[in-house]
Structure 1
Amino acid sequence: MESKVVVPVEGKKITLQNGKLNVPENPIIPFIEGDGIGVDVTPAMLKVVDAAVEKAYKGERKISWMEIYTGEKSTQVYGQDVWLPAETLDLIRDYRVAIKGPLTTPVGGGIRSLNVALRQELDLYVCLRPVRYYQGTPSPVKHPELTDMVIFRENSEDIYAGIEWKADSADAEKVIKFLREEMGVKKIRFPEHCGIGIKPCSEEGTKRLVRAAIEYAITNDRDSVTLVHKGNIMKFTEGAFKDWGYQLARDEFGGELIDGGPWLKIKNPNTGKEIVVKDVIADAFLQQILLRPAEYDVIACMNLNGDYISDALAAQVGGIVLHRVRISATNARCLKRLTGLRRNMRARIKSTQAPLFCLRR
């Protein structure tokens, strides 16, 4: 298929060398305008980033922007029902870093969520959300300045994998029949009209997420890494997430038990300071981030818990529109801005043009 993307004449690709990004003086960065208010906010975002680069580097560096397509605009460029073209995925892989606006959910079958599809296709397994208070921002809590956390949300597994079947469908009935007759499951309360879903959680997926969180804590001189989970109820998924996280801290970072465990301490090789690796039940954590937020620093959690936690924490310091997201893989990064899709509320648009979101590979 003929390329629909215009590559800038000036600029060079960002490359990966020894696991680190090699950024040229004039990098080419793909961007996705997005749907809804993306038409309004993305052009403004590009101008803000350009101005920041100009000021920071005194004109010695410059970004060459390259538009790529996903969402409604993609259907106009590539054809009806082409919401996520292969060319877009290939360019993000090739150029390593990209930035995107908000994306709609296609109506009908096929892709359920373009955001989830991007993460899965590019294996963007870390959703990194730094949340801190900026002085002068209105907040519903008395001491928002005590909130300073970085959330590492696992982005490729859990119920967000989208493995589910609609109630009364032949597939749902087949799965339920298998569970009841072959696996001896007797806890499906109303099997006759029941949707069913699967929650995958793997050792590999858990360990690469927790590894990234601990490495971040070491590099950025943070005090602790907390594994947030519901292992008291879901012992073989959420509970396994906790166990594998502790195992990785012991095996790869030399974690030592504190007072018999399960909490561990790791010595930061850069500073000599101790980093505590601990865990907490998710519902208790949501309470404690209000009562004792200063006790938490880097957070590692599964996909669904991370979704709740990120927005709850952001609300404590002024709302999600003030915070950025970096969604990462071993070889890619994606940045995004955080906001909704509506264009018809101009006052709201003016108040939500702060943050953005970045993809990096």
Structure 2
Amino acid sequence: MATRSLPILRRLRSYPISPFHRRSVTYMPRPGEGASRTVTLIPGDGIGPLVTGAVQQVFASMHAPIEFEAFEVHGHMNSIPKEVMDSIQRNKVCLKGGLATPVGGGVNSLNMQLRRELDLYASLVNCFNLPGLPSRHENVDIVVIRENTEGEYSGLEHEVVPGVVESLKVITKFCSERIAKYAFEYAYLNDRKKVTAVHKANIMKLADGLFLESCREISKDYPGIEYNEIIVDNCCMQLVSKPEQFDVMVTPNLYGNLVANTAAGIAGGTGVMPGGNVGQDYAIFEQGASAGNVGNEKLVEKKRANPTALLLSSAMMLRHLQFPSFADRLETAVMKVVGEGKCRTKDLGGESTTQEVVDAVIAAID
């Protein structure tokens, strides 16, 4: 099996982390890895400034070696400003709040522009049970890896004649193979046992057929990892009835969005699921599943947005930047606050504000 790995969100562990987790392992950084890093920050729209502000407060409290370079970007803009793209390309890493995508109206999604221009071809969402947080199912620990640059999200639409619109779904062998490679590499490096390809090849025989063919080819290089396939509609049914059967899931673009949000809802809600988008050179970390919470005016007005997902995403970012001890401290503190149940936002059954959750996390770190 090839030993060269694609960019990985390094060693993300999605199960509860004890205060002594990994203490027996000595992390030996290369010279210079402990130097402070500059990260581009996009607070975004709606609850974005609340939850990114929460991360900034927690990072300052724990003296994390991160400096933020912040920019105002909003979903109604025609494009990402050049100075923002320059910053991300210079810093290589970005932390982002949600950017609202207008429905209709001809305005392009800035989220898609970022993914396309930076070639962030892999979206990773980690859906798992948090200790002490009740959910309908136990033993949920699913990683959804989604192709991020093509499929139905290619945005290739036109009106053929008045009242008839044609939308093109683009699937390529190159993109299918590299997302499959990423999924198997992730499974291999994180001691995962199974990769499931999600598809609709029974109907889209050529497009999804090509995606499946690519996954099958790549799976041959990883004989130690179980590989199976599931049709997307059956996948949704299985997720809500028996989610513990899934481990790593690899999907085309649209299916990944649906599967990740479904899995997040099963495991505890979109407010607690971390995620990120990575490519060969750049990475953007953000809330793993949004499901429309970005523009929730009530959450913004009452300052009750749940910062848990972005705090856990920022821990992923710290590990990606080779600061594993800071990532461990942050994850441990967040898990402790959620597990104790004394300080929870409304989506988790409580009445706490964003700031109260932040204060609790900072206290747990201290």
Tell me how far 1:136 sits from its aligned partner.
Answer: 2.2
Amino acid at match of 1:114: L
Equivalences for residues 174-189 of structure 1 within 5 A: none
Q: Which residue of 1 is the match for residue 69 of structure 2?
A: 66
Conserved? CA contact 1:111–1:117, under 8 Å: no
Aligned pair 1:152/2:152, yes or no? no
Tell me how far 1:304 sits from its aligned partner.
Answer: 0.6
Offset from partner CA, 1:250-276 (integer Å, 9 cap, x none): 2xx1x5xxxxxxxxxx13xxxxxxx10
The match for 2:87 among 87, 91, 97 is 91
Secondary structure, counterpart of 2:308 in structure 1: coil
Aligned pair 1:288/2:238, yes or no? yes
CA 23–96 in structure 1, closer or farther in 2 if over 3 Å, else same: farther
Q: Which residue of 1 is the match for residue 309 of structure 2?
A: 355
Amino acid at match of 1:299: M
Aligned pair 1:138/2:148, yes or no? no
Tell me how far 1:23 sits from its aligned partner.
Answer: 4.4
Offset from partner CA, 1:90-147 (integer Å, 9 cap, x none): 22122111101111236886642111111111111101001100122232x2xx2221
Q: Which residue of 2 is the match for residue 103 of structure 1?
A: 99
Conserved? CA contact 1:69–1:85, under 8 Å: no
Query: Unpaired runs of 5+ in structure 1?
Result: 1-17, 76-80, 167-171, 174-191, 256-265, 268-274
The match for 2:54 among 40, 44, 48 is 44
Equivalences for residues 220-235 of structure 1 within 5 A: 220-235=190-205
Secondary structure, counterpart of 1:28 in structure 2: strand
Q: Which residue of 2 is the match for residue 216 of structure 1?
A: 186
Secondary structure, counterpart of 2:138 in structure 1: helix
Conserved? CA contact 1:126–1:328, under 8 Å: yes
The match for 1:341 among 295, 303, 306 is 295
Equivalences for residues 264-283 of structure 1 within 5 A: 266-267=223-224, 275-283=225-233
The match for 2:115 among 119, 140, 160 is 119
The match for 1:129 among 125, 132, 138 is 125
Tell me how far 1:316 sits from its aligned partner.
Answer: 0.6
Conserved? CA contact 2:138–2:244, under 8 Å: no
Equivalences for residues 251-330 of structure 1 within 5 A: 253=221, 255=222, 266-267=223-224, 275-330=225-280
Q: For 1:324 and 1:193, how far apart are their aligned partners in 2?
A: 40
Secondary structure, counterpart of 2:88 in structure 1: helix
CA 111–89 in structure 1, closer or farther in 2 if over 3 Å, else same: farther
**Mean CA deviation greater in 95-104 or 345-354:** 345-354
Tell me how far 1:348 sits from its aligned partner.
Answer: 6.8
Aligned pair 1:29/2:39, yes or no? yes
TM-score (structure 2 length as normaliser): 0.71
Equivalences for residues 159-178 of structure 1 within 5 A: 159-166=152-159, 172-173=160-161
CA 215–31 in structure 1, closer or farther in 2 if over 3 Å, else same: same
Tell me how far 1:354 sits from its aligned partner.
Answer: 1.9
Q: For 2:302 and 2:141, how far apart are their aligned partners in 1?
A: 26
Conserved? CA contact 1:83–1:106, under 8 Å: no
Tell me how far 1:300 sits from its aligned partner.
Answer: 0.2
Tell me how far 1:352 sits from its aligned partner.
Answer: 2.2
Q: For 1:129 and 1:108, how far apart are their aligned partners in 2?
A: 26
**Mean CA deviation greater in 88-97 or 223-232:** 88-97
CA 348–130 in structure 1, closer or farther in 2 if over 3 Å, else same: farther
Q: Which residue of 1 is the match for residue 175 of structure 2?
A: 205
Offset from partner CA, 1:282-305 (integer Å, 9 cap, x none): 111111123332221000000110
Q: For 1:46 and 1:100, how far apart are their aligned partners in 2?
A: 12
Conserved? CA contact 2:40–2:94, under 8 Å: yes
Q: For 1:279 and 1:107, how far apart are their aligned partners in 2?
A: 33
Q: Which is greater in Rg?
A: 1
RMSD: 2.7
